Structure 1
Amino acid sequence: MSSDNKENLASDKPTTSHGAKYDFFEYKRSRSNSPNTEPDMLDLSYFDLEECESNLNYAWYGHIEAAHRITKILLNNNLIKLVPAIIGQFVNVQTLDLSSNCLKILDENICKLQGLKNLIVRDNQLEDNSLPKNLGARLPNLEIVNLSGNLFTQFPYQLLEIRSLKEIYLGSNKISGMPRSYEQLQGLEILYLGGNQLKSLPEEICQLKNLTNLNLSNNLLSALPNSLAKLRNIKTLALHGNNLTHLPIELVRLNLSELSLRNNPLVSRFAKEFTYNVPTLLELSGRIVKTKSIDYKNGILPTHLVNYLNSAQCCLNPRCKGVYFTSKVEHIKFVDFCGKFRVPLMQYLCSSQCNEKISNRFKITYSSSGSDLSDSDDQYQNRLLKKILIG
C-alpha cells in the first residue's frame, strides 16, 4: 500500500453505523476510569458496526505505534459478516472477541494472529465448514476457544490438532457426534458441551487425562461409557437435563466435588427391568475354565480362544467368584451419597441368581432412615462426593 493511501486511511476517522465520527483511542481514554479498561485493549464492541475495516485501518495506520501494543481486540455485539482483512496486522493480539455478530465463516485472516491465545466467537452463525482447515496448524498457541451458540453439528476437527488448548466451549450448538481420538488434547481442562444433541459418548473420551470440568447437560444421553471413570482429575461433572436412568458403577471412584443430575429419569424413576441373554456353550465352557483355574495358553488352545478367555469379567457380587463374557445381568445398585440422595448406578452380574441374592440382601440391610448399605465396598463413597445437585 502506498504512503498516500496510508495517509488517507489515517485521516479518515472511523464511523458507527449511524455515521458518527469518533477516535477510538480517545474513546478508550475517556473510559479510563472503568475497572474493565486495559491499556493494551482495542474496544469496538456494542457499536452496531456492519463492517469495521475502516475502523481497524484507522487504528493501524493512524496510531501504528500504539496499535503494535494491542493484545486484546473486542469486536463483539456488532453486525460484522466477515472478519476484516486488516485484523492480521495486529500481530501481538492474544485475545479476539467476535461474539454476537453475523459471522457465517472465519476466513484465513484469523490465522495470521499466530500469537492468539483466546478466540471467542460465540453466538454467530458458524457451521461445520466455517473454520479454516489449517486453523490448528496456524494457531498453535490457542488456549481458550469459545464457539458456543453457533450451528455446528459435529465437533470441529480443527480443534483436535491444537495441543495447547485448555478450554473448549461448544455449548448450544447442534452437535450430535463426537470424535474417536483426543490424543492431541492432553492439556484440556474444561470441555463444555451443554445444550447439544449428543445421544452417546465414545469410550475414547477417557483420553482427556487432565480434564477437570466436563459439562454434558441438556443433551440426549441415555447412558455413559464406563471409561468416563478413568478421568481421574475431573472435579465437576454436569449431567442434568438428559435421559439417564442409571450411571456406571465405576463413576463413584472419581473424586468429584460436584455432580449435577437434575432433570434425568434416574431422579424420579429408577430402572427396574433387567435383561439377561442365555449363555452360549462357548461362554459356559469359558466360565468353567476360569472359575476352576484350568491352565490355558497359546499352543494348548487356539489364539482366538485364549483371547476370548482373557476377556472374562468378574461378577460384581462380592459373594460370587464367577465370571461372565457377553451374557450378563444388568443390576441397578442404589448408592447413598452424603446421606441425602440415593443414586442408581449400573453394575453387571454373571447370572440372575446373583441378582436375586443381592436384591434379597438389599431388602434386609436397607435402613428406613436412609443410611448407607452395609456393603464394605460402599463405605468410602460418601467421602468422595461432596455435592450432588439432583433437585
Structure 2
Amino acid sequence: MNFDIPTTSSSTFDFFEYKRSRSNSPNNEPDMLDLSYLDLENCESNLSYALQANLDSVQSITKILLNNNLINQIPPILSYFSHVETLDISSNFLKVLSQDICRLTNLKNLICRDNQLEDNSLPKDLGSKLVNLEVVNFSGNLFTQFPYQLLEIKNLKEIYLGSNKINGMPRNYEMLQRLEVLYLGGNQLKSLPDEINQLRSLTSLNLSNNLLTALPNSLARLRNMKTLALHGNNLTHLPVELVKLNLYELSLRNNPLVSRFAKEFSYNVPSLLELSGRIIKSKNVHYNLNILPIHLVNYLNSAQCCLNPKCKGVYFTSKVEHIKFVDFCGKFRVPLMQYLCSSTCNEKITNRTITTSSSSSGSDMSDTDDQYENKLLKKILIG
C-alpha cells in the first residue's frame, strides 16, 4: 500500500501532538482510532495523513471515530481498515457516501447522523455489500424517502432516521425480521403502510413529531412492541386494535386528542346498495353464488356489526365514528375509534363513552363524567 504522504505543515504537527496527548488518556481503547473533533477539513491532507499513519495497526482497529470534523468526503484509504466494526462519521459536511465504504464488509455500526445526505447519497449496493450491519444511524440528514438499501440488510437491529424530511414509507419489510428499533421521529410522515406489521421483532417504534392523523390497524400485529412514541402528531384517536399490545410506554402528548375528540364527525348517507345489503344481513336472507354474482356476495360478506350491543344492525361503508375511552395497559385511558351503523343508534354511556355524528357534536356524558374524562386526558398528554 503506497500513498503520497502530504508535506507536514505546522497545523499538521499540532494535530499529531494533540493525538499523542489523547493516546495517553485513560479512556483510550487499544482497538479504537479516535480522530474526532480535530477540524480535519482538508480531506486529502490531514485526514489521509492521519489514516495512513495508523496503517501499521490496521488489523487491530475495530472502531474509528471521525465525528465532529469538517470533512465533506471520505478518502479511499479508509477502505483498508477492513476489520472496522464501528464507524462514526457524524456531524460533518458529507453529501455522499462513496463506494469505498462498501469495502468495510465487517461493519456492524454505521453512525452518520447530522450530515447532508440525500436520497441518492448512498451507494446502490450498500445493502448487498454491508450485510453485517446491525445499527444504522442516519438521523439529522436530508432524506425524503426511507433508504431502500436498508431494506436489503437482514441483520439490522436498529435504524435511526429521525430529523430528516421523510414523507413516505416503503411497503416491503420482509428482510428486516430482526429489526428491534425503528426511529422515525421528526419527519413529515402523514401515514404508515399496513405492511409495517411485517416487522415482527420490533420492540420500539418512534413516530413522534410527524404529521400523522391516523394509524393502521396492522400495528396491533406487532406483538413484541413495548415502546410506542406518538407525541407531536395530529392524532384524534387510536385504532381500537392497539389494546391487544402490552406496551410499557406510550407517548401521546401534543396530539389533538382532547380538543377534537368531541367535534362533529362526517357521516355519509347510505347508498341504495348499502341499504339493500343491510336488509339482507339483518333479516338473515339466504344468498349464495347461485343467486348473486360474486362481487355482491363478497360485498355482503364484508358487513360489520354495529358497536351498540342493543342494535342488531350492520354497516358496510357508511358508518358513524364513535370514540370510546378505554383503559390502556393499566396506566391511562385513551380514545379509541369504533363505529355505529347510524347516527340514531346511540349506545348508552356505561363506560364513559363519547358518541358523535353529523347531527350531534356534543357529549352525552354528565358534567361530573366530563370533568373526570378531562382529568384523565391530561394523563394521556404527558404519557
Q: Superposition pairs for residues 1-391 of structure 1, below 5 Å?
A: 5=2, 9=5, 19-22=13-16, 26-27=20-21, 29-31=23-25, 33-34=26-27, 37-53=28-44, 62-337=53-328, 341-354=332-345, 356-359=346-349, 362=352, 368=369, 390=382
- Counterpart contact for 1:134–1:158, Cα < 8 Å: yes
Structure 2: unaligned runs, 5 residues or longer: 353-363
- Counterpart contact for 2:229–2:252, Cα < 8 Å: yes
Distance 1:173 1:204 in 2: 22
Question: How far has the Cα of 1:38 moved from its partner?
Answer: 2.2
Question: How far has the Cα of 1:249 moved from its partner?
Answer: 1.6
SS in structure 2 of the partner of residue 259 of structure 1:
strand
Distance 1:21 1:152 in 2: 34
- Counterpart contact for 1:336–1:371, Cα < 8 Å: no
Seen in structure 2, the aligned counterparts of structure 1 residues 60 and 368 have a Cα distance that, compared at 3 Å, is closer
Q: Please tell me the residue identity of whatever aligns with 1:239.
A: L
SS in structure 1 of the partner of residue 250 of structure 2:
strand
Q: Please tell me the residue identity of whatever aligns with 2:382.
A: I
1:81-122 CA distance string (max 9 Å, x none): 111111111111111100000000111011111111111110
Distance 2:245 2:7 in 1: 57
The 10-residue stretch of structure 1 (284-293 or 229-238) with the greater mean CA deviation from structure 2: 284-293
Question: How far has the Cα of 1:287 moved from its partner?
Answer: 2.3
Seen in structure 2, the aligned counterparts of structure 1 residues 224 and 15 have a Cα distance that, compared at 3 Å, is farther
Question: How far has the Cα of 1:309 moved from its partner?
Answer: 2.0
1:274-297 CA distance string (max 9 Å, x none): 222122222222223333444433
Seen in structure 2, the aligned counterparts of structure 1 residues 276 and 260 have a Cα distance that, compared at 3 Å, is same
Structure 1: unaligned runs, 5 residues or longer: 373-381
SS in structure 2 of the partner of residue 111 of structure 1:
helix
Seen in structure 2, the aligned counterparts of structure 1 residues 99 and 314 have a Cα distance that, compared at 3 Å, is same
Q: Please tell me the residue identity of whatever aligns with 2:16.
A: Y
Distance 1:55 1:88 in 2: 17
Question: How far has the Cα of 1:314 moved from its partner?
Answer: 2.5
Distance 1:223 1:199 in 2: 8
Question: How far has the Cα of 1:304 moved from its partner?
Answer: 1.3
Percent of residue pairs bearing the same amino acid type: 69
Q: How many residues align?
A: 368
Distance 1:15 1:348 in 2: 74
Distance 2:34 2:214 in 1: 45
Q: Report what 1:377 is aligned to.
A: none
Q: Please tell me the residue identity of whatever aligns with 2:212.
A: L
Seen in structure 2, the aligned counterparts of structure 1 residues 293 and 64 have a Cα distance that, compared at 3 Å, is same
Seen in structure 2, the aligned counterparts of structure 1 residues 282 and 227 have a Cα distance that, compared at 3 Å, is same
Seen in structure 2, the aligned counterparts of structure 1 residues 266 and 340 have a Cα distance that, compared at 3 Å, is same
Seen in structure 2, the aligned counterparts of structure 1 residues 269 and 277 have a Cα distance that, compared at 3 Å, is closer
1:297-324 CA distance string (max 9 Å, x none): 3333212122222222222223333322
Q: Please tell me the residue identity of whatever aligns with 1:288.
A: I
RMSD between aligned residues: 3.0
SS in structure 2 of the partner of residue 168 of structure 1:
strand
- Counterpart contact for 2:314–2:341, Cα < 8 Å: yes
Seen in structure 2, the aligned counterparts of structure 1 residues 16 and 244 have a Cα distance that, compared at 3 Å, is farther
Seen in structure 2, the aligned counterparts of structure 1 residues 389 and 27 have a Cα distance that, compared at 3 Å, is farther
SS in structure 2 of the partner of residue 318 of structure 1:
coil
Question: How far has the Cα of 1:371 moved from its partner?
Answer: 7.8
Q: Please tell me the residue identity of whatever aligns with 1:289.
A: I
1:225-278 CA distance string (max 9 Å, x none): 222222211111111111111211222221111111111111444332122212
Seen in structure 2, the aligned counterparts of structure 1 residues 390 and 83 have a Cα distance that, compared at 3 Å, is same
Distance 2:84 2:29 in 1: 13
Q: Please tell me the residue identity of whatever aligns with 2:347.
A: K
Runs ≥4 in structure 1, deviation > 6 angstroms?
A: 12-16, 364-367, 369-372
- Counterpart contact for 2:15–2:38, Cα < 8 Å: no
